[in-house]
Structure 1
Amino acid sequence: MALAIRDVREHDLDAVLALNNAAGRSILTLDAGQLRYFFEHANYFRVAEIDGNMAGFLIALREGLDYDSPNYRWFSAHYPQFVYIDRIVIANAYRRHGLGRIFYSDVHSYAEVRVPLLTCEVFLEPRDDVVVLFHGTYGFQEVDQQKMGPDGPQVSLLAKDLPSFAYVRDTWLEHGGLPDAPWLAERELPHGSGSQRRAVGERRS
């Protein structure tokens, strides 16, 4: 089994959209325009391929975007720097094989050289104890709870401290930036999208 984790490409978007909208009630649906926002603005948007097949994806955002998610807005109001995991989706055929942990390890590596905090939320309505346990064993702690709108579900807002960030900040970020290495490179956003800041509807991780 050959596994590759790589940045999303434009030709992946139809498959990503189909995978997202087939994921069930724990993942909010997307339309093509909302997915395009992520493609143009998400700092971390990677897909997993297994033997050439789309197996899953994870989308995460830095602070400072005009993203109309109540959970992203909560973290924006409380923390100056963070990476927010908006959503992770694994195809049914590849669940229970550790791909979620691989993705979380990858986004952790991305975040810890850039920010002091990795954040996300989990649904409490309906509550999935496997998901709650997964995040707890990965070092996330609850920092608050809120409802996603008047009629939305209750969610647990989670954050994980990234202690390596202080060393990276003091050694590199305050002295010219990260080393020029492929694994440290930022995702290349579509041309011209960096200045496009527009809001989209509520999403989840």
Structure 2
Amino acid sequence: MSIVVRDVHEHELDSVLALNNAAGPAILPLDAKRLQYFYECAEYFRVAERDGMLTGFLVGMGDAADHDSSNFRWFRERHSEFFYIDRIVVASRRRGGGVGRAFYADAQSYAELRYPQMACEVLLQGSIDPVLLFHGTFGFHEVGQQVMEETGLRASMLMKPLCSYPWISQTYGRDLPDAPWIHTPRTLRLDSARKAGGRA
């Protein structure tokens, strides 16, 4: 069956938490409080569904977010106007089945309407070549490395230009067309704030 990517529902947070904390050392652990923060504040928080089961999730936010991640701060200190992927998790039984690619395609479709570039990081531990190759096929390239103050782990800091953004920005500015694939209930609030002059 096909992969469906959609906004997360609050009653699914326990399942999302279990997915995150079963993902292994490449994903930092979460607790319920931190996950609730993402639910309330993250600009992009979507899950993937396949055969009626949750198979993963992706959390992302814009550069103006109130986010305390040292990796997010690293990007904000060096770059402006970007969409940051805080984490992407795919259930182990579904890895290699296209869920990650579906998430990145959906996240880019969202981000390129609003930001000129995307940012994320890859933890440099364990067998990372498949992860770096995966990101490379999506056009990400390393812009630096940093040791995370929270964990002491080294991360490769990756960015990708979003080539459609300049045309979209020049053509529509902040007045994006009113279409369901552009505005979800979660993003309506943020897009309204941008139109009012803020960058929520």
For normalisation by structure 1, the TM-score amounts to 0.88
**Poorly superposed stretches of 4+, deviation over 6 Å:** none
Q: 1:160 to 1:187 in 2, by over 3 A?
A: farther
SS for the counterpart of 2:186 is coil
Q: 1:126 to 1:66 in 2, by over 3 A?
A: same
Gaps of 5+ in 2: 194-200
Q: 1:115 to 1:134 in 2, by over 3 A?
A: same
SS for the counterpart of 1:114 is coil
Equivalent residue number for residue 40 of structure 1: 40
Equivalent residue number for residue 102 of structure 1: 102
Gaps of 5+ in 1: 196-205
SS for the counterpart of 2:181 is helix
The offset of 1:150, in angstroms, is 7.5
- Which residues of 2 match residues 1-205 of structure 1 at below 5 A? 1-149=1-149, 152-173=152-173, 177-188=175-186
The offset of 1:3, in angstroms, is 2.5
The offset of 1:187, in angstroms, is 4.5
Q: 1:150 to 1:44 in 2, by over 3 A?
A: closer
The offset of 1:127, in angstroms, is 4.7
Residue pair 2:26, 2:125 contacting (<8 A) in 1 also = no
Residue pair 2:4, 2:50 contacting (<8 A) in 1 also = yes
Cα root mean square deviation, aligned:
1.9
Q: 1:14 to 1:186 in 2, by over 3 A?
A: same
Aligned residue type for 2:5 = I
Of the two structures, which has the highest relative contact order with CA contacts closer than 8 Å and spacing of 6 or more? 1
Report how many aligned residue pairs link the two structures.
Answer: 190
